[in-house]
Structure 1
Amino acid sequence: MILSESSQGNSLMGSVCSCKRDHYADENITRRGFSGRYFKFGSSKWLESSLFLPATCCQFQQSRRPSLMELCICKICKDIDKYRSFSMLPRDISQLIFNHLVDSCSLSDSRIEAFRDCALHDMCMREHTRVNNKWMDVISSQGSSLLSAYISSTEVTDFGLSLLRNCSNLQALGLDCCDKISAPGIKHIAGLTNLESLTIRNCKFITDSDLKPLAGLVNLKELQISCSDITNVGVSYLRDLYKLVVLNLEGSVVTASCLDYLTALTSLKSLNVNRCHLLDDGCEKFSALSSLKELNLGFNNITDTCLVQLEGMTKLEGLYLDSCRISNDGLAHLAGLSNLKALELSDTEVGRNGILQLSGLTNLEDLNLSFTSVTDSGLKELSGLTSLRSLNLDARQITDSGLAVLTSLTGLTHLDLFGAQITDSGTKYLSYFKNLQSLDLCGGRLTDAGVKNIKDLTSLMLLNLSQNLKLSDTALELLSGLTSLVSLNVSNSRITSDGLQHLKPLKNLRSLYLEYCGVTASEIKKLQATTLPNLVRYRPNE
């Protein structure tokens, strides 16, 4: 059956809505994925990026009834195998159907064929690792309408990339784990001269010489080439990309000398050299990049000596020093960076005296102190940082007393206490954080009594209570009123299949983790089929 505009399209036209690209964004996305203008991807321990992509039309707001448009999209997706082509539908409708199938991981070789010649704007495949050259042929059939595409697959070859020559207006392209791509494939990309955003991640055979053709992509504003063997030679080919705003070289084998090729890039605002084996030697070159707003130096062998060179970078808004050899004394060099909004100090040697150095950074919104030496008493120094929105305290030495001294931080929206020793008694302090959207409490000390103090945090979208072995079905009953929940993890607990009934009100739930509980995959599938149709990711899954 072919879905025609006359037979099905008219019933959908009552409230045609455009596909928007400015979707709910992870605040860390600028160093992990494409810019907000296009689509989001990437991940972190806590925030699942796919949960912040556009909600499908089947995810209705609790405050209103679904529109006719939404009901029609749901019905089409339910009966998707009845249709051979959507090319006669208005583009917006086809895009909504495509987005829903991607969100629900329901695309297949036959279903992707139905979107041939649909003139779609966005084809973000995300977790669909089955993408092959046949899928690429369908992608290329969108022609000049296609603006963004993201492909994660080991089956796409140089020939598949050559098909994109038909997509002359492509502005954003993401390639992840495309191991069969080599120099010829990169040359095909170089022909897409309207590209503004290009990401190549985990593509094993990308070398320095492969980057030379990219020098012609003069409109590039964002370039991410991570987990590759790129050296300073490869970076030298990028020195004329004057419009570059974001450059990600994570996992490359560059040295600080590569910065010599970047000094002419006056538009550069974000640089990621995470996991590049940098040393203190050469760090003085960072001072030449005075326009940077974001710098990721994580997992490099740098010390406090390197931080001395950052003192003049007063425009910095984000600084990431995860797993570097940074001590309390080193943080004194950051005291003048008054514009800092995000600071990553995870797994460093920082303790209470270091936190004292941060007291003047009143614009901080995101602070990560996981796996540091900070104790309960040291957390008192954070009480004046009232602009904080995200705080990571994944450390075993943090207890109820530490949570008690944070109650002035009422603006927190994300709180990670993954390994902290928080007990039922300590959860009473959570009542001060009414705006929390994500909470991680996995220290093993909670019982159902502690969950009573979580049930009123109605803004929660992501909740992780795994590893708390004493939680029972009663915990799910207490959480049943958190209808904004998108992700729930209660693995390693005493929850049984009887408790699943309490999840029925959680209509927005998309991820559910109940590993090592008394629940089977078949029972979760039954819940999905009957009451939670938006649930697309769950464990156990077999």
Structure 2
Amino acid sequence: MGGACSRKRDQQDEEILNRGVSGKYCKSSSSKWLATSFTRPGFVVQRKNGECPTLMELCLRKIGEDIDRYSKFSDLPRDISQQIFDELVYSQRLTLKSLEAFRDCAIQDLYLGEYPGVNDDWMDVISSQSTSLLSVDFSESDITDSGLAYLKGCKNLESLNFNFCDQISDHGLELLSGLSNLTSLSFRRNAAITAQGMRVFSRLVNLKKLDLEKCPGIRGGLVHLRGLTKLESLNIKWCNCITDADMESLSGLTNLKSLQICCSRVTDLGISYLKGLSKLSLLNLEGCRLISAACLESLSDLTGLMFLNLNRCNFSDSGCEKFAELINLKILNLGLNNITNSCLVHLKGLTKLESLNLDSCRIGDAGLVHLSGLVRLKCLELSDTEVGSNGLRHLSGLTNLENINLSFTVVADNGLRKLSGLTSLRSLNLDARHVTDAGLSALTSLTGLTHLDLFGARITDSGTIHIRNLKKLESLEICGGGLTDAGVKNIKDLTSLMFLNLSQNSNLTDKTLELISGLKGLMSLNVSNSRITSSGLRHLKPLKKLRSLTLESCKVTAFDIRKLQSTDLPNLVNFRPE
């Protein structure tokens, strides 16, 4: 399955593997802020047009603007100090100097994740919150072991996040040993923490959540978790040092509900130690290549499972007899496994399944008959399989389906008619080269769609006629190369669109930008590899919500985009070329 489809998948995989400091965003600084700004906490409330902000919001905004005029907030009620602090973080106005005004304010929650400049110099004021302090996020800061010493007096701390703080070592962990009220602790991507340092965890008896993702030195350290009987969530993804011996240490954690051990060296023997974890609802074994189908007998005892990820495990069809015994399983993720058609027969009894991921499994049309009784399915992933049009008839009765991914399959136009009755669909991925204009006529009844991916499908102007009545679409991708300005006329009235990708359509001109200028909800626009020029940028001025603009391989320069940004698009934080 080549062409644009495979190119797109390769780029996505490469981006995931080569991301920067945080897995949440890519290396570009502008892209980084784009990703985090959509979800960054703060006091700001989205308001309807014409609705006035509250007096409190106006006051907080004014204080933030004039922060250098204030030297002390400790006389204010704690909740007011908290809101001022949050506003300064959100607006990027908090500095070491302005932080001093928050000394002894008894603030409870300090969100400083990914905030620039945070280091040990900030810890004196932070620690002055004393026993009032309940949670702190130091993600991606320059806090060191010495900085952790300041937290000794914050005895009521319940949550600490040190993700990507690579200057913290075993010595720093030891300084946290007295914080026995901690229920959540996170140290993602830390190469300095070892099994010896993990001894401190045995004293944190109230821990419910522990995150050690990408901590390569923790082999042998899970033994120190044996007494943490309250532990409910453990993340040790991407720790390729984890072996079966480590898994044995988890066998007594009977309150464990979530366990993630992706890309480890665990084998079927290691999975057998999980048999007694009856409360386990999420088990992520993605990339554990030493695991085979033999482990399914152990998993059959985990009747409380709601999410099971066996993506890229070394599965074969033999040994799957016990699979159907997981009758209480709600969510099953089996991506990239060596599973053949006959294995799907074992899914027939999983009638409570809500999400089934068979991404890249060796399944075809015949196997889908075994899914026809899974009437509670809401999400079905069939990407990179041999599924074609004939198999889709077995899905026509799954009326609760909200999400289907048929990308990189051999599904063709005649198969899409089998989906026309699935009116609950919200997301449909048809990134497949065998889909053409003719097939889109079957989608006209799917008026609830909010996401439609036709990235590599062979869609031309005539095909867009079938899309123009999908008024709830928020995301649309048509990148097969067959679109012209005439086809964009059928898109211009989809006013709910927030994300629009029309890249690779080399015949699009400045007229396209004029046509979509009324889509004022757009936050992301990609018209790369087209005939767009700098003179067409003026049509984007009404798109005040635009945050991401990609016009690579167009007759547009970075200077042109920056000029537009400075005068008309103040929210634009990510653009190409840059």
Q: Which residue identity lines up with residue 123 of structure 1 in the other structure?
A: D
Q: In 2 relative to 1, CA 74–459 (structure 1 residues): closer, same or farther, beyond 3 Å? A: farther
User: 288, 295, 305: which is aligned to 1:252?
Assistant: 288
Determine whether 1:53 maps to 2:39: yes
**Alignment correspondent of 1:502:** 539
**Alignment correspondent of 2:194:** 182
Cα offsets for 1:370-390 (capped at 9, x unmatched): 111110111111111111111
Verify the 8 A CA contact 1:423 1:445 in the aligned structure 2.
Answer: yes
Verify the 8 A CA contact 1:197 1:222 in the aligned structure 2.
Answer: no
TM-score of the two chains, using structure 1 as the length reference = 0.78
Q: In 2 relative to 1, CA 285–539 (structure 1 residues): closer, same or farther, beyond 3 Å? A: farther
Distance 1:193 1:519 in 2: 59
> Which stretch has the larger CA shift, 106-115 or 488-497?
106-115
Determine whether 1:91 maps to 2:128: no
**Alignment correspondent of 2:104:** none
Verify the 8 A CA contact 1:477 1:499 in the aligned structure 2.
Answer: yes
User: 112, 117, 133: which is aligned to 1:108?
Assistant: 117
Q: Which residue identity lines up with residue 247 of structure 1 in the other structure?
A: L
Q: Which residue identity lines up with residue 461 of structure 2 in the other structure?
A: D
Distance 1:138 1:449 in 2: 65
**Alignment correspondent of 1:364:** 401
List runs of 5+ in structure 2 lacking aligned partners.
Answer: 1-21, 27-33, 93-110, 233-256
Determine whether 1:151 maps to 2:160: no
Q: In 2 relative to 1, CA 405–257 (structure 1 residues): closer, same or farther, beyond 3 Å? A: same
Determine whether 1:281 maps to 2:290: no
Distance 1:205 1:332 in 2: 46
Distance 2:322 2:117 in 1: 49
Q: Which residue identity lines up with residue 384 of structure 1 in the other structure?
A: G
Q: Once the 2 structures are TM-superposed, how far is the Cα of residue 278 of structure 1 from its aligned partner?
A: 1.9
**Alignment correspondent of 1:227:** 263
Counterpart secondary structure, 2:332: strand
Determine whether 1:408 maps to 2:445: yes
**Alignment correspondent of 2:421:** 384
Distance 2:68 2:315 in 1: 52
Q: Once the 2 structures are TM-superposed, how far is the Cα of residue 257 of structure 1 from its aligned partner?
A: 3.7
**Alignment correspondent of 1:16:** none
Q: In 2 relative to 1, CA 54–238 (structure 1 residues): closer, same or farther, beyond 3 Å? A: farther
Verify the 8 A CA contact 2:119 2:142 in the aligned structure 1.
Answer: no
Alignment of 1:41-440 (within 5 A): 50=36, 53-54=39-40, 60-63=46-49, 64-67=51-54, 90-99=81-90, 101=92, 107-109=116-118, 113=122, 116-117=126-127, 119=133, 121=135, 123=137, 125=139, 128=140, 133=144, 137=148, 144-145=156-157, 147=159, 149=161, 151-152=163-164, 156-159=168-171, 161=173, 165=177, 168=180, 170-173=182-185, 175-188=187-200, 191-207=203-219, 209-215=220-226, 216-220=228-232, 221-235=257-271, 238-239=274-275, 241-253=277-289, 254-440=291-477
Cα offsets for 1:46-83 (capped at 9, x unmatched): xx975762575568445235555556666777788999
Q: In 2 relative to 1, CA 52–268 (structure 1 residues): closer, same or farther, beyond 3 Å? A: farther
Q: Once the 2 structures are TM-superposed, how far is the Cα of residue 291 of structure 1 from its aligned partner?
A: 1.4
Q: In 2 relative to 1, CA 339–176 (structure 1 residues): closer, same or farther, beyond 3 Å? A: same
Verify the 8 A CA contact 1:211 1:234 in the aligned structure 2.
Answer: no
Q: Once the 2 structures are TM-superposed, how far is the Cα of residue 360 of structure 1 from its aligned partner?
A: 1.4
Q: Which residue identity lines up with residue 281 of structure 2 in the other structure?
A: V
Aligned CA RMSD, in angstroms, stands at 3.9
Verify the 8 A CA contact 1:352 1:375 in the aligned structure 2.
Answer: yes
Q: Which residue identity lines up with residue 471 of structure 2 in the other structure?
A: K
Alignment of 1:436-451 (within 5 A): 436-451=473-488
Verify the 8 A CA contact 2:308 2:332 in the aligned structure 1.
Answer: yes
Counterpart secondary structure, 1:402: helix
Distance 2:482 2:562 in 1: 30
Counterpart secondary structure, 2:461: coil
Q: In 2 relative to 1, CA 373–148 (structure 1 residues): closer, same or farther, beyond 3 Å? A: farther
> Which stretch has the larger CA shift, 506-515 or 194-203?
194-203
Q: Which residue identity lines up with residue 389 of structure 2 in the other structure?
A: R
Larger radius of gyration: 2
Q: Once the 2 structures are TM-superposed, how far is the Cα of residue 414 of structure 1 from its aligned partner?
A: 0.9
Distance 1:463 1:252 in 2: 36
Q: In 2 relative to 1, CA 173–77 (structure 1 residues): closer, same or farther, beyond 3 Å? A: farther
> Which stretch has the larger CA shift, 371-380 or 236-245?
236-245
Counterpart secondary structure, 1:309: helix
Q: Which residue identity lines up with residue 53 of structure 1 in the other structure?
A: T
Cα offsets for 1:192-236 (capped at 9, x unmatched): 4444444444444454x3444344353313332323333345545
> Which stretch has the larger CA shift, 242-251 or 212-221?
212-221
Verify the 8 A CA contact 2:159 2:182 in the aligned structure 1.
Answer: yes
Q: In 2 relative to 1, CA 167–308 (structure 1 residues): closer, same or farther, beyond 3 Å? A: farther
List runs of 5+ in structure 1 lacking aligned partners.
Answer: 1-39
Q: Aligned pair count?
A: 495
Verify the 8 A CA contact 2:379 2:402 in the aligned structure 1.
Answer: yes
Q: In 2 relative to 1, CA 349–471 (structure 1 residues): closer, same or farther, beyond 3 Å? A: same
Q: Once the 2 structures are TM-superposed, how far is the Cα of residue 280 of structure 1 from its aligned partner?
A: 1.8
Counterpart secondary structure, 1:420: coil
Counterpart secondary structure, 2:322: helix
Distance 2:309 2:426 in 1: 23
TM-score of the two chains, using structure 2 as the length reference = 0.73
Distance 2:197 2:416 in 1: 51
Cα offsets for 1:9-56 (capped at 9, x unmatched): xxxxxxxxxxxxxxxxxxxxxxxxxxxxxxx98699xxx975762575
Verify the 8 A CA contact 1:314 1:337 in the aligned structure 2.
Answer: yes
Cα offsets for 1:480-532 (capped at 9, x unmatched): 33232232222223333444443343333333333333344454445445544
Q: In 2 relative to 1, CA 456–322 (structure 1 residues): closer, same or farther, beyond 3 Å? A: same
Q: In 2 relative to 1, CA 212–480 (structure 1 residues): closer, same or farther, beyond 3 Å? A: farther
> Which stretch has the larger CA shift, 437-446 or 67-76?
67-76
Determine whether 1:483 maps to 2:520: yes
Verify the 8 A CA contact 2:281 2:304 in the aligned structure 1.
Answer: yes
Verify the 8 A CA contact 2:416 2:442 in the aligned structure 1.
Answer: yes
Q: In 2 relative to 1, CA 478–193 (structure 1 residues): closer, same or farther, beyond 3 Å? A: farther
Q: Which residue identity lines up with residue 316 of structure 2 in the other structure?
A: L
Q: Once the 2 structures are TM-superposed, how far is the Cα of residue 539 of structure 1 from its aligned partner?
A: 3.1
**Alignment correspondent of 2:31:** none
